[in-house]
């Protein structure tokens, strides 16, 4: 915000609006995803257990390499062509919007699961939760970040 206020010579209101726009747009996209029903359900119910039925996506190493290469070139190109730091902020905003819309089915399914729990007044657990708890208990980092209940 200080960069847009001092370097770009914007006023207080314009500077605040410019810096809050990525957050507002991402929150609006998340709200849209929450109310817009997904194309397919990624959760399957078995009694009080929930199973994720999403097919695993293959790892494409060339996409990871391309993404790493392009992202490592982003800042030097912006610095060389004197693009303000707000351009980098908006670049990250587009990444956040992509992630929200890419995960829209999962977000909608989890919101529907929460509504189903409230409607039926019961708690669902994921099928592999015991294995996850065992892995967390075996790791010192998992024990460090474990929520005490």
Alpha carbons 141 and 38: distance in angstroms, whole number:
35
Q: What is the mean pLDDT of residues 123-143?
A: 81
Question: Which of 93-100's residues contact partners 24+ apart within 8 Å by CB, and which partners?
Answer: 93/21, 93/22, 93/25, 93/26, 96/22, 96/26, 97/25, 97/26, 97/29, 100/26, 100/29, 100/30, 100/33
Q: What percent of the chain has pLDDT over 90?
A: 6
Greater model confidence, 141 or 147? 141
Residue 35 CA neighbour count, 13 Å, CB half: 5
Comparing C-alpha atoms, which of 44, 45, 51 is closest to residue 129? 51
In the numeric block, which tokens belong to residue 131?
Answer: 């294995």
pLDDT at position 65: 87
Dist CA 85 CA 3 (whole Å): 7
The predicted model scores a pTM of 0.65
Give the model confidence (pLDDT) of 30-89 as tens digits: 999 888 877 777 888 888 888 888 777 777 888 888 888 887 887 777 777 666 666 777
Cβ count near 4 (within 10 Å): 20
Handedness of CA 92, 93, 98, 101 (dihedral sign): positive
Copy the structure tokens of residue 90: 């908006």
């Amino acid at each position: 915000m200080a960069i847009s206020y001092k370097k770009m010579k914007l006023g207080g209101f314009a500077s605040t609006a410019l810096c809050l726009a990525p957050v507002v747009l991402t929150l609006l996209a998340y709200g849209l995803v929450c109310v817009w029903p997904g194309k397919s359900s990624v959760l399957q119910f078995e009694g009080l257990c929930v199973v994720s039925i999403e097919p695993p996506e293959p790892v494409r190493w060339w996409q990871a390499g391309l993404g790493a290469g392009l992202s490592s070139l982003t800042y030097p190109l912006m610095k060389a062509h004197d693009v303000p730091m707000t351009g980098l902020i908006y670049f990250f905003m587009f990444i956040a919007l992509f992630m929200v819309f890419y995960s829209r089915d999962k977000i909608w399914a989890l919101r529907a699961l929460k509504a189903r729990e409230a409607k039926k007044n019961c708690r669902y657990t994921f099928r592999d939760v015991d294995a996850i708890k065992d892995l967390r208990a075996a790791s010192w980092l998992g024990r460090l970040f474990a929520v005490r209940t």
